[in-house]
Chain A
Amino acid sequence: MSATSLLASGTDVGAEIVFWVCATLCVIGALGMLLSRKPVHSALFVALTMINLAILYVALQAPFLGMVQIIVYTGAVMMLFVFVMMIVGVDASDSLIETIRGQRWAAIILVLAFAGLLIGAIVNGLSGVPEPSLEAANSQYGGNLQGIAKIIFTDYIVAFEVTSALLIIAALGAMLLAHRERHTPKPTQEQRSIARFARYAATGELPGNLPPAGTYARHNAIDTPALAPDGSVVPESVPGPLQERGNVRPVDVAAEVEVDEISEGHTVVTVDDDEAGEQR
């Protein structure tokens, strides 16, 4: 295609490029949703489809719907899906076992037939229609948003009001469904404190905080156990997994090495003898 013909049909070529790129990405997103094992990957593919659909809406002279599509679908709906995945379990993969034998192939054949029917009907029914344009409708009230607002608040005002009721009912219904009734009363702070000291009386479990790693020790690394003021090691101050893996650093090794070095004449810490004696 030469430069002049490109210029002559500039908008058409632009619309064609936008359509083919976005349509390809839409179908890729839909296929990815269908074929990926993990729900999170599916959600990301659906978000890809939705964003490309928003671009297509803009190309179809519906800029308001394009923005709403991005805000509502990719912003709210897909994030809600991802939140629920965090509750339900991110790595809950699909089982590939068919519960009804031959169902998968039957479904594929059925859907191919259905798609063929739809596409055939569309191509047949829409052959020879005039070239579409929304310019007049969009500019009638000053813009696309104003035009939609005029329709919503005049012709569809009842539907719009019913929509508000629907949204409130949906919010209430979600709260009702996700609500969990407590079977036992929630313990108060007082009751929990009493229980803590009862445990202290029975088992000797400390009622306060555990000392953090490194308290009174020479290092504050997480694998260094705290020292009690009398110099004994507090093993509970090191996190449980580190203890199970045997990664607890012995506290006294560094101290012993330093004492040896000082006694051999290598002065590591330059402090007065009196102060050093006090610190030891």
Chain B
Amino acid sequence: MSTTHYLVLSAILFSLGVLGVLVRRNALIVFMCVEMMLNASNLAFVAFAQQNGNLYGQTIAFFVMVVAAAEVVVGLAIIVTIYRTRRSASVDEPSLLKY
């Protein structure tokens, strides 16, 4: 399989993640879409690592995974905190700064 196939798949997954962030209103689903984008970029890193014939891309993908895990923990804690005060997980609810 050529690298192009993997990169096109990565681009499709990333675009679907972007679409989810733009159209979905549930904070949890928006967050899952962010994870999808991180995974798509990881796939691109791994595919480029194979194309270049060295393991640096895989190492960067590994670091992306670590950062994503830390980000998930903090993000979910923020969502839980917002849910406790506003009783809703919708991203439209926290709009107090608007007025």
Q: Which of A's residues lie within 8 Å of B, judged by CB?
A: 12, 15-16, 19, 23, 26-27, 30-31, 33-34, 39, 42-43, 46, 49-50, 53, 56-57, 59-62, 64-65, 68-69, 72-73, 76-77, 80-81, 84-85, 87-89, 92-95, 99, 103-104, 107-108, 110-112, 114-115, 118-119, 122-123, 126-127, 129, 131-134, 136-138, 144, 147-148, 151-152, 155-156, 159, 163, 166-167, 169-171, 173-174, 177-178, 180
Question: Which residues of B sit under 8 angstroms from A49, Cβ to Cβ?
Answer: 13, 36, 39
Q: Is there contact, CB below 8 Å, between B1 and A114?
A: no
Alpha-carbon distance between A141 and B4 when the two chains are bound, in angstroms: 28
Q: Is there contact, CB below 8 Å, between B79 and A56?
A: no
Output the least CB separation between A129 and chain B (Å): 7
Q: Is there contact, CB below 8 Å, between A134 and B6?
A: no
Output the least CB separation between B12 and chain A (Å): 6
Closest to B55 in A: A147
Question: Which residues of B sit under 8 angstroms from A72, Cβ to Cβ?
Answer: 65, 69
Q: A132-B53, A137-B55 are in contact. Are A111 and B18 (CB under 8 A)?
A: yes
Alpha-carbon distance between A12 and B53 when the two chains are bound, in angstroms: 18
Q: Is there contact, CB below 8 Å, between B32 and A89?
A: no
Q: Which of B's residues lie within 8 Å of A, judged by CB?
A: 1-9, 11-20, 22-26, 28-29, 31-33, 35-36, 39, 42-43, 46-47, 49-56, 58-59, 61-63, 65-74, 76-81, 83-84, 88-90, 92
Q: A39-B28, A73-B39, A104-B23 are in contact. Are A126 and B4 (CB under 8 A)?
A: yes
Q: A49-B36, A56-B6, A88-B83 are in contact. Are A62 and B24 (CB under 8 A)?
A: no
Q: Is there contact, CB below 8 Å, between B26 and A39?
A: yes
Alpha-carbon distance between A119 and B10 when the two chains are bound, in angstroms: 9
Q: Is there contact, CB below 8 Å, between B13 and A27?
A: yes
Question: Which residues of B sit under 8 angstroms from A152, Cβ to Cβ?
Answer: 59, 62
Q: A129-B3, A133-B50 are in contact. Are A163 and B76 (CB under 8 A)?
A: no
Output the least CB separation between A28 and chain B (Å): 11
Output the least CB separation between B61 and chain A (Å): 6
Q: A27-B12, A65-B62 are in contact. Are A166 and B70 (CB under 8 A)?
A: yes
Q: B61 contacts which of A65, A89, A138, A147 (Cβ < 8 Å)?
A: A65
Alpha-carbon distance between A16 and B71 when the two chains are bound, in angstroms: 34
Closest to B43 in A: A53
Closest to A121 in B: B11
For the A-B complex, the count of residue pairs with Cβ-Cβ distances under 8 Å equals 235
Closest to B50 in A: A132
11 residue pairs from A and B, CB less than 8 Å apart: A12-B1, A30-B13, A30-B16, A57-B46, A64-B58, A84-B28, A114-B18, A134-B55, A148-B55, A170-B69, A173-B77
Main secondary structure of the interface of B (DSSP, over half): helix
Output the least CB separation between A72 and chain B (Å): 5
Q: Is there contact, CB below 8 Å, between A174 and B73?
A: yes
Question: Which residues of B sit under 8 angstroms from A126, Cβ to Cβ?
Answer: 2-4, 7, 51
Question: Which residues of A sit under 8 angstroms from B90, Cβ to Cβ?
Answer: 94-95
Closest to A164 in B: B66
Q: B79 contacts which of A84, A99, A166 (Cβ < 8 Å)?
A: A84
Question: Which residues of B sit under 8 angstroms from A148, Cβ to Cβ?
Answer: 55, 58-59, 62
Alpha-carbon distance between A72 and B67 when the two chains are bound, in angstroms: 11
Closest to B25 in A: A94
Question: Which residues of A sit under 8 angstroms from B18, Cβ to Cβ?
Answer: 111, 114
Q: Is there contact, CB below 8 Å, between B62 and A68?
A: yes
Alpha-carbon distance between A110 and B16 when the two chains are bound, in angstroms: 11
